[in-house]
């Protein structure tokens, strides 16, 4: 994300930032122009109207969430289980992509076109999960159930406020991934019992 951006990309980037911060109603041409440091009139050299910007923002989010993530895990290689883990890290631990993803989910509740876009992105992610689960599980229903649980854990971890006793959220999610992906726990990284309650977001 550190590469220089064209003026058009700056509008899209600022639009995504506004979306992540306050939802689609915050994506206003005048406010974005002020954030970018240009006049409002410059907007129309790149977009026909605000709706065109919103579509371009969704295009950018979809590309980064699927094509870019999938291309990166292909380049990095690894077995299917490690690729799933890496895809989850890139999608749901990224300080930039995660807030946009969560904002799109909220937006999709009120906009059918956005909901369809989200469905397409999530279907691609589920496809990656199914492929990984299918390497060790022959039962199609179990593959689907494991994939669903893994996806729900990745998303739900950002909404759940519960504590986990003597474990951090990261430790519990790591262990959940081990169980869902049928991986033996690495004793070198096993959590210390009785460490005391961890913060809910830990």
Query: What's residue 192's pLDDT?
Result: 54
Flag whether 177 is in a domain: no
Structural domain includes residue 88? yes
Identify whether 200 is part of a domain.
no
Q: Whole-angstrom Cα distance, residue 178 to residue 192?
A: 17
Residue 190 confidence (pLDDT): 56
* Distance separating alpha carbons of residues 135 and 162, to the nearest angstrom: 33
119-132: average pLDDT? 96
Q: What is the pLDDT of residue 198?
A: 37
Lowest mean pLDDT segment, chosen from 5-9, 131-135, 160-164: 5-9
pLDDT at 202: 33
Place of tokens 């649980």: 149
Look at residue 4 and tell me whether its pLDDT is greater than 60: no
Say if 186 falls within a structural domain. Answer: no
Average pLDDT, the chain: 89
Residue 36, class by beta-carbon neighbours within 10 Å (0-12 exposed, 13-18 middle, 19+ buried)? Answer: middle
Q: How many domains does the chain have?
A: 1
Q: Mean pLDDT throughout 162-172?
A: 93
State how far the Cα of 140 lies from the Cα of 146, in Å rounded to an integer.
10
pLDDT-above-90 percentage for the chain? 73
Q: What is the pTM of this model?
A: 0.84
* Percent of all residues in the chain with a pLDDT value above 70, rounded to a whole number: 89
Q: What is the CATH number of the domain that holds 38?
A: 1.10.357.10
State the residue range of the domain holding 111: 7-159
Confidence of residue 185 (pLDDT cuts 50, 70, 90): confident
Q: Whole-angstrom Cα distance, residue 85 to residue 174?
A: 10
> Residue 52: inside a domain, yes or no?
yes
Higher pLDDT residue, 39 or 55? 55
In a domain, 23, yes or no: yes
Task: Give domain status of residue 98, yes or no.
Answer: yes
Q: Is residue 184 part of a domain?
A: no
Task: Give the 3-state secondary structure of 162-198.
Answer: CCCCCCCHHHHHHHHHHHHCCCCCCHHHCCCCCCCCC
């Amino acid at each position: 994300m550190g590469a220089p951006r064209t003026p058009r990309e700056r509008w899209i980037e600022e639009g995504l930032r506004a979306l992540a911060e306050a939802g689609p109603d915050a994506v206003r041409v005048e406010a974005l122009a002020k954030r970018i440091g240009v006049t409002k009139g410059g907007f129309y050299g790149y977009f026909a109207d605000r709706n065109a910007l919103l579509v371009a923002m969704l295009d950018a989010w979809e590309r980064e969430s699927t094509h870019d993530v999938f291309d990166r895990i292909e380049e990095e290689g690894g077995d299917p289980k490690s690729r799933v883990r890496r895809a989850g890290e890139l999608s749901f631990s990224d300080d930039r992509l995660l807030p946009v993803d969560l904002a799109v989910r909220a937006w999709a509740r009120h906009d059918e076109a956005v909901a369809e876009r989200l469905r397409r992105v999530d279907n691609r992610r589920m496809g990656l999960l199914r492929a990984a689960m299918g390497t060790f599980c022959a039962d199609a229903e179990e593959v689907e159930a494991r994939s669903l649980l893994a996806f729900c854990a990745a998303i739900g971890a950002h909404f759940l406020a519960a504590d986990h006793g003597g474990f951090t959220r990261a430790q519990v999610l790591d262990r959940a991934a081990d169980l869902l992906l049928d991986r033996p726990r690495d004793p070198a990284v096993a959590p210390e019992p009785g460490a005391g309650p961890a913060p809910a977001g830990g």
